[in-house]
Amino acid sequence: MAVLVAVLAVFLLCLLVLVRFYAVLKTGSKCRPGTKGPVAVLIVAGSGGHTSEILRLMECLSAAYTPRHYVIADTDKMSEEKICAFERSKPPSHSESQFTICRIPRSREVHQSWCSSIISTLNALRYSLPLVFRLRPDMVLCNGPGTCVPLCVAGLLLGILGMKKVLIVYVESICRVQTLSLTGKILYPISDYFVVQWSSLRDKYPKSIFLGRIV
């Protein structure tokens, strides 16, 4: 009897999570944090090319996107410098707006095998969850480094638990013309806005948004 109750409880819990999952995904277009004041952004900078591309996107965002929390992989030396230089270059009207830089373990090195990728992603999730729960951003902006998967999952979880709807905005790298990156494929179903930079990708992925080349 006890076993039956336990099984039933687990089943109901799973059902509840699924229903919440679906509900959270559906509320993306209705979620308009900008109408209530500044928008807190979590920006996932990767390394090298990813960081340069995401900073290009940040260039044109207004001071309404404040505060800005940058997340970088702990093995990444270059990105911190680039981010600080970028924030310093902002016009004086932005100077009161604040930014922070947080480090988490890298979830996947280039050429790492699938199996060990999963383990290190789980490890990265251990750090991502407390970070996202503490910062409670209105949106996560990312463009492809593996590090963004656990952070987006943490954001999704915040929504599933009913604590806060975190918008997931994914911009596929300009390098991707015909196929999505692995991260893109994973985040396509769970992102609220999925932006691609070549029309050939928009044709293949109906949910995606094509604004032309934006970096």
Parallel/antiparallel/unpaired status of strands 99-104 and 139-142: unpaired
- Site size for another protein (CB under 8 A): 41
Q: Which of 17, 119, 163, 177 binds another protein (CB under 8 A)?
A: 177
CB of 186 to another protein, least distance (A): 16
What part of residues 61-120 is at the interface with another protein (CB under 8 A)?
A: 61-62, 64-65
CB of 80 to another protein, least distance (A): 15
Q: Which of 49/105 has CB closer to another protein?
A: 49
- Is 60 a binder of another protein (CB under 8 A)? yes
CB of 71 to another protein, least distance (A): 19
Give backbone dihedrals phi and psi of 179, rounded to 5 degrees, phi first.
-130, 150
Residues that bind another protein (CB under 8 A): 29, 31-35, 39, 48-49, 52, 56-57, 59-62, 64-65, 138-139, 167, 169, 171, 173-179, 181, 193, 195, 197-198, 209, 211-215
